[in-house]
Structure 1
Amino acid sequence: MDAELAEVRDFLAQHAPFDVLRAEVLDRLPARLGVRYFRRGTMVLALDEVTDVVRVLRSGAVEARDGSGELVDRIEAGGLFGMSTLLEGTGSAYAFTAIEDSLVLEVPQPVVVELCGVEPRVADHLEREHRRRLGRAVTVQVGDRSEAGLRTRARDLVRRPPQTAPSTVTIREAATRMRDAGVSSLLLMAGDQLAGIVTDRDLRNRVLAPGLDPDHPVSTVMSDQPVTGSADALAFELLMEMVARNIHHLPLVEQGRVVGVVTSTDLMRLEHADPVYLVGDVRKARTVEEVVAAARRIPETVQRLVTSGTSDEDVGRVTTAVGDAVERRLIDLALAELGPAPVPWCWVVLGSRARGEQALGGDQDHALLLGDEAGPEHDAWFATLAERVTAGLEACGWPRCRGDVMATNPRWRQAVAAWQQTFGRWLDAPEPMAVMQGTIFFDMRPLHGDAGLFDRLQAWVLHRSPHQQIFLGYLAQNAVGTPPPLGFFRGFVLEREGEHVATLDLKHRGLGAIVAVARAHALAAGVPEVGTRARLRAVVAAGRLSADDADDLAGAMDVIGHVRLEHQARQVRSDREPDNYVAPDELSSFDQRNLRDAFGIVKHAQAGLARRHLLRYMS
């Protein structure tokens, strides 16, 4: 082998998927490749161009853009591109342009096929890279256009390290440190633990106004055990927390360590604050009618978020947070009239709201957990509470659940011990139909009342679920029983009857399938997470799913969720009721291609779950 070919061989040996090839296969490969040079600014592969080679970037840099010109990816040395023409049998999904002088190796289709035959990991890598770029495309498309505002992560608001002092310093010393640092708050520490916070307002109200000696310890006027926020939280979530607690400074914590402080002024400078004011109006509402008037602004708010480029995940979190605020306020108004509850209770939300994934067009799903001392004589009080809240939600635009999964149903308004018996029947002596109907209850989150009741029930369920193999088999069977709307030759399978004929059901056959797969893995692993993306991360850590497969599913969720939100935003703009059914002809070719890829990922995940539970042996 001459020096130039040996250099190419060594290069390939350092990059996937060629690094898994046997030495003799790798030795023969360089002589079978083409080589092309592209000057900076030259088109390497045009959008929709059909090609019969997979390209490997030897040196330089290439960028990929979608049909609308949005940047999707940047390829560096060792990166692959052009796989879509071989994997899909269509033109290139993206346009690839050299942004530096670049040298490209070309692997002909017969060689690719041969390599996939001798080493299946090559095929797996090609498909994985193609799906990764699909996920990047959606992230760029729905995320990068709006880095400010609601999508801002708390950590990105921190402009300086936190100003701290030992909690043993005097008030005078604390005030001096605040003045010298030019800050309006000081974090007080006990060792490396946050003990309290003192603010300008504390110095005014607790020191100057009452004439307190400034040589007293600052611990006498600080707010101890202050509320903290996650560094990964959205700015919107932080501001809602601060509004609810009437505080103006929120320390941020990451892995138990204080990383900064966010103020209400920081947050109010952000764009897209409309949902914050909406939540504020909900919390200030003194009547059900005022709550209803505020809640009617939700579709327009979501439509603006989608138009501004907010991601599907963040829109779901915002919509969930607003829905939570509405439901809590309705409960509070009912409690103000009914008086204190006769026994401990916890109102829980179910389904997409519990997962933090609510969109428009959903119905109500909720239940009541009661203390074990609850008796028949107490049911009338909780029945009244349930009916008032349910009627209020209905007036706000959330229809009653057609399956009657609401706290108004006595079956879903019971003591924790009775709930354990219900879950026990699903887990210990499962029947396929009962498991299918009960899956929504495994997506549960406490909203109001005594969260300890929920904690008891969740711990009981998660302790038992990993050991109930028949139940897990039925759960997996349900998860694969609704395949995505993708035919054998990658054509869409449309609804054949009903009012949504000739459309794609993005909720039940797309997002719902991903949710079901993640739920089945999560309950088998006994992890407490409820949100789908959080479940996917947790089951990777538990060893039930590979990181690549979890990333693929999260990417597919982004794709389908984005298409659904765009569809719902169009409906809101046209004064139509939002739903989950989209006609393919209202989608761009780019969205259609991405949906096909996403549905293919869902099919792959369902097949993997089926194999794991050996569903072919189940009746």
Structure 2
Amino acid sequence: MADVDIPEVTDFLAEHAPFAAVPREELDRLGRRLTVRYARRGTHLMSVGKGNDEVFVVRSGAVQITDENGSLVERGGEGTGFGTTALGGSPSRFDVVAIEDCLLFVMSSEVFRELADHHPAVRDFFSEQREARLRHALVSLPQQDRHSAVLQTRLRDLLRRDPITTTGGATIREAAELMAREQVSSLLVVEGDRLTGIVTDRDLRTRVLAAGLETTQPVSAIMTPDPVTASPDALAMELILEMTSRNIHHMPVVEGRRPLGMLTSTDLMRLERANPIHLVGDVAKAKDLAALVLLSQRLPRIVDQLVHEDATADGIGRIVTAVGDAIEKRLITLAEQGLGPPPVPYAWIVLGSQARLEQGPGSDQDNALVLSDEVAPEQLEWFESLASFVVEGLVACGYPRCPGGIMASNPEWRQPLRDWKRMFARWINEPTPEAVLRSAIFFDLRLVHGERSLVNALHAHVAALAPRSGRFLAHLARNAAHNEPPLGFFRGFVLERKGEHKDRLDLKRGGVHAIVEIARVQSLSKGLPQVNTLSRISAAANAGALAPETAADLHDAFEFIRYVRLLHQARQLREGQDCDSFVSPDELSSFEKRHLRDAFHIVRSAQQTVVQSYPLGFVT
């Protein structure tokens, strides 16, 4: 560095993050490899869309950084660094302008790469900037490829009239007359200004007419007390999720306990995105497998609509899962109608993405049966018939068989509770790489139908054993760290090199699945009950297994990668193709490419945290 005092450079760098973490002698060497550049006020140092191969540090003066939309990202003075996101010629996502005369220290990409390789603190410092930008991207994402904000409508803005109410002491006849007069399908039952119950036209049919109940009885005799309610500040998307998962068609909107009005599935039809509610209801009434097959064919259109509106990836996953749950439950009910009542209590459980409420289009089926310990050998045939009917029915409805055979039709996954407990104890207490890899999916399980106590007992068993087995957790951690994000250092994405997905980007293995595995190991390490990945991340942070900043970053990365994958899958659905997670870079917008890189960097950083948390060196 000509005409510059090296000790002065070293002193300056040592006073500013992240260089303060670098030893003095290395800062001296770094100083000799820097150049100095002067920029007059108004000079554009970086421009959106243009490549860059240098990293800058402001020695004096000030710069302003704005994004591609012109929004202010940062104003920085002495010590401000920029340029790392566009290294290697990648198009810059930011404009950087000198707002004062500036003196800049400049290092080449080669120098910065060596520094970041040898000093994680430097790498992590600039990664944090990347993570903050990803969060900014998620905020602006709805404006990129989505056409309206109907699902972001507040419920208070959907209310069209004041609530129609009655009291618990009114007669059933009076309530029915009021409903007819007001032309509504439900009434809110109040005591003063407090909601106490709800009565629907279905209640009048099933609890009065069908039961032969006198209409002089009080309406409190047939109402649903303390109904599920929604906040007026909740979003339409949240209401759809709640009504779909519960298969209900009326939702009181309350402030505190004071009713503001009623929203129904008919009201939501105005949004043109409420089809899942009706689909779940229709599935529950399907009379046979043929009817279920026809109904299941409506799901791809719903997914396509939701993806291209303003639904989140998490919301879409929950809706797709709710439909899958409804189909599975109806198949079980149809099977029981044909087979007769079960000989002993049982629990039908789902595993993997469906258990995590993260099912997507084209997901295969993963299920199992937990039987009461009272089951006798001669009763096993009933459960074999049940499993065969449901598994075959799911195939007919578009849910392929699990390639690994993890289905209730496989006798290995149709066991009494005591045998399930033994299997989990063996996986946890005597782990081997192959066994843990094969069994990991079973640590994501959820009841769909049957005896909840059987599943609760299994969850409690796992929660008691897992935190105490360091070897088991180390194996899980190794699996989580093994799925490397498809990202090269300053080189863009790493694409598949051969096979049918050659030259495509795998969003699942080192993206979605890597985050799922990170969340799983950190959650199990604390014996937490959550199964959904985002819930696991939050719970792990609350329990101290993840730093709050890491949890927030993983949350954003998981949402963004899944959203990009859903866009890809929606395109495949429209073109009649099978859905997968392999995306051609040509499909991706520059916005998606830039922020996918940020998301993958977050995954890589979280994996390094996992590696440091567990003694992977002792796992063989």
Residue 617 to residue 298, structure 1, CA distance change in 2 (3 Å): same
Structure 1 counterpart of 2:416, one-letter code: A
Which of the residues 230, 240, 245 maps onto 2:244?
240
- Which residue of structure 2 lines up, in the alignment, with residue 353 of structure 1? 354
**Which is worse superposed, 47-56 or 478-487?**
47-56
- Which residue of structure 2 lines up, in the alignment, with residue 583 of structure 1? 584
- Contact 2:244 2:276 (8 Å CA) reproduced: no
- Contact 1:374 1:415 (8 Å CA) reproduced: yes
Q: Tell me by how many angstroms 1:501 deviates.
A: 2.5
- Which residue of structure 2 lines up, in the alignment, with residue 140 of structure 1? 140
- Which residue of structure 2 lines up, in the alignment, with residue 9 of structure 1? none
**Which is worse superposed, 400-409 or 45-54?**
45-54
State yes or no: 1:47 paired with 2:49.
yes
Q: Tell me by how many angstroms 1:161 deviates.
A: 11
Residue 485 to residue 572, structure 1, CA distance change in 2 (3 Å): same
- Which residue of structure 2 lines up, in the alignment, with residue 342 of structure 1? 343
Give the Cα–Cα distance (whole angstroms) in 2 for the partners of residues 505 and 75 of structure 1. Answer: 31
- Which residue of structure 2 lines up, in the alignment, with residue 514 of structure 1? 515
Give the Cα–Cα distance (whole angstroms) in 1 for the partners of residues 315 and 169 of structure 2. Answer: 41
Give the Cα–Cα distance (whole angstroms) in 2 for the partners of residues 303 and 389 of structure 1. Answer: 27
Q: Tell me by how many angstroms 1:222 deviates.
A: 3.6
Give the Cα–Cα distance (whole angstroms) in 1 for the partners of residues 373 and 213 of structure 2. Answer: 48
Q: Tell me by how many angstroms 1:495 deviates.
A: 2.3
- Which residue of structure 2 lines up, in the alignment, with residue 94 of structure 1? 93
Give the Cα–Cα distance (whole angstroms) in 2 for the partners of residues 81 and 277 of structure 1. Answer: 58
- Contact 2:46 2:96 (8 Å CA) reproduced: yes
Q: Secondary structure at the match of 1:494?
A: coil
Residue 201 to residue 588, structure 1, CA distance change in 2 (3 Å): closer
State yes or no: 1:384 paired with 2:380.
no
Structure 2 counterpart of 1:376, one-letter code: P
Structure 2 counterpart of 1:94, one-letter code: R
State yes or no: 1:64 paired with 2:62.
no
1:117-169 CA deviation, whole Å, 9 max, x = no partner?
9x987864542232222233144324783664456576875799999999789
Q: Secondary structure at the match of 2:529?
A: coil
Structure 2 counterpart of 1:108, one-letter code: L
Structure 1 counterpart of 2:128, one-letter code: R
Q: Tell me by how many angstroms 1:61 deviates.
A: 9.7
Give the Cα–Cα distance (whole angstroms) in 2 for the partners of residues 382 and 271 of structure 1. Answer: 41
Q: Secondary structure at the match of 2:83?
A: helix
- Which residue of structure 2 lines up, in the alignment, with residue 440 of structure 1? 441
Residue 201 to residue 532, structure 1, CA distance change in 2 (3 Å): closer
- Contact 2:57 2:106 (8 Å CA) reproduced: no
The 5-angstrom pairing of residues 364-379 of structure 1 reads 364-379=365-380
1:422-452 CA deviation, whole Å, 9 max, x = no partner?
1010111111211110000011111111222
Residue 536 to residue 573, structure 1, CA distance change in 2 (3 Å): same
Q: Secondary structure at the match of 1:525?
A: coil
- Which residue of structure 2 lines up, in the alignment, with residue 10 of structure 1? none
Q: Tell me by how many angstroms 1:272 deviates.
A: 1.5
**Which is worse superposed, 511-520 or 587-596?**
587-596
Give the Cα–Cα distance (whole angstroms) in 2 for the partners of residues 484 and 92 of structure 1. Answer: 21
State yes or no: 1:545 paired with 2:546.
yes
- Contact 1:206 1:212 (8 Å CA) reproduced: no
Q: Secondary structure at the match of 1:239?
A: helix
Q: Tell me by how many angstroms 1:479 deviates.
A: 1.1
The 5-angstrom pairing of residues 20-419 of structure 1 reads 36=41, 45-48=47-50, 50=52, 53=56, 64-65=67-68, 71=69, 74-75=72-73, 85-89=83-87, 90=89, 93-96=92-95, 108-110=104-106, 124-142=124-142, 145=146, 148-150=149-151, 185-186=187-188, 188=190, 195-197=196-198, 219-220=220-221, 222-228=223-229, 234-240=238-244, 244-245=247-248, 247-250=249-252, 262-419=263-420
Structure 1 counterpart of 2:50, one-letter code: D
**Which is worse superposed, 277-286 or 560-569?**
277-286
- Contact 1:150 1:235 (8 Å CA) reproduced: no
Give the Cα–Cα distance (whole angstroms) in 1 for the partners of residues 516 and 259 of structure 2. Answer: 34
Give the Cα–Cα distance (whole angstroms) in 2 for the partners of residues 577 and 62 of structure 1. Answer: 43
- Contact 1:344 1:370 (8 Å CA) reproduced: yes
1:395-417 CA deviation, whole Å, 9 max, x = no partner?
11211111110001111111222
Give the Cα–Cα distance (whole angstroms) in 1 for the partners of residues 349 and 617 of structure 2. Answer: 36
Q: Tell me by how many angstroms 1:86 deviates.
A: 2.5
Residue 550 to residue 368, structure 1, CA distance change in 2 (3 Å): same
1:369-403 CA deviation, whole Å, 9 max, x = no partner?
11121122221111111111110111112111111
Structure 1 counterpart of 2:93, one-letter code: Y
Q: Secondary structure at the match of 2:331?
A: helix
Residue 524 to residue 88, structure 1, CA distance change in 2 (3 Å): farther
1:60-88 CA deviation, whole Å, 9 max, x = no partner?
998633xxxxx596547779999662244
Give the Cα–Cα distance (whole angstroms) in 2 for the partners of residues 393 and 80 of structure 1. Answer: 62
Structure 2 counterpart of 1:469, one-letter code: G
Give the Cα–Cα distance (whole angstroms) in 2 for the partners of residues 107 and 81 of structure 1. Answer: 11
Q: Secondary structure at the match of 1:236?
A: helix
- Which residue of structure 2 lines up, in the alignment, with residue 462 of structure 1? 463
Q: Secondary structure at the match of 2:348?
A: strand
Q: Tell me by how many angstroms 1:307 deviates.
A: 2.6
Give the Cα–Cα distance (whole angstroms) in 2 for the partners of residues 80 and 352 of structure 1. Answer: 48
Q: Which TM-score applies when normalising by structure 2?
A: 0.78
Residue 74 to residue 449, structure 1, CA distance change in 2 (3 Å): farther
**Which is worse superposed, 328-337 or 73-82?**
73-82
Structure 1 counterpart of 2:398, one-letter code: G
Give the Cα–Cα distance (whole angstroms) in 1 for the partners of residues 339 and 559 of structure 2. Answer: 43
Residue 197 to residue 186, structure 1, CA distance change in 2 (3 Å): same
| Identity between Structure 1 and Structure 2 (%) | 42
- Contact 2:130 2:598 (8 Å CA) reproduced: no
Structure 1 counterpart of 2:403, one-letter code: R
- Contact 1:143 1:310 (8 Å CA) reproduced: no
The number of residue pairs the alignment matches comes to 572
Structure 2 counterpart of 1:130, one-letter code: R
Give the Cα–Cα distance (whole angstroms) in 2 for the partners of residues 170 and 306 of structure 1. Answer: 47
Q: Secondary structure at the match of 2:449?
A: strand
Q: Tell me by how many angstroms 1:198 deviates.
A: 5.1
Give the Cα–Cα distance (whole angstroms) in 2 for the partners of residues 185 and 59 of structure 1. Answer: 63
Q: Which TM-score applies when normalising by structure 1?
A: 0.78
Give the Cα–Cα distance (whole angstroms) in 2 for the partners of residues 327 and 487 of structure 1. Answer: 42
Residue 503 to residue 150, structure 1, CA distance change in 2 (3 Å): same
Residue 589 to residue 261, structure 1, CA distance change in 2 (3 Å): same
Residue 105 to residue 196, structure 1, CA distance change in 2 (3 Å): farther
Give the Cα–Cα distance (whole angstroms) in 2 for the partners of residues 534 and 80 of structure 1. Answer: 40
Residue 91 to residue 412, structure 1, CA distance change in 2 (3 Å): closer
- Contact 1:553 1:601 (8 Å CA) reproduced: yes
State yes or no: 1:525 paired with 2:543.
no
Structure 1 counterpart of 2:613, one-letter code: R
- Contact 1:347 1:366 (8 Å CA) reproduced: yes
Residue 88 to residue 523, structure 1, CA distance change in 2 (3 Å): farther
- Contact 2:364 2:399 (8 Å CA) reproduced: yes
Give the Cα–Cα distance (whole angstroms) in 2 for the partners of residues 212 and 219 of structure 1. Answer: 12
- Which residue of structure 2 lines up, in the alignment, with residue 452 of structure 1? 453
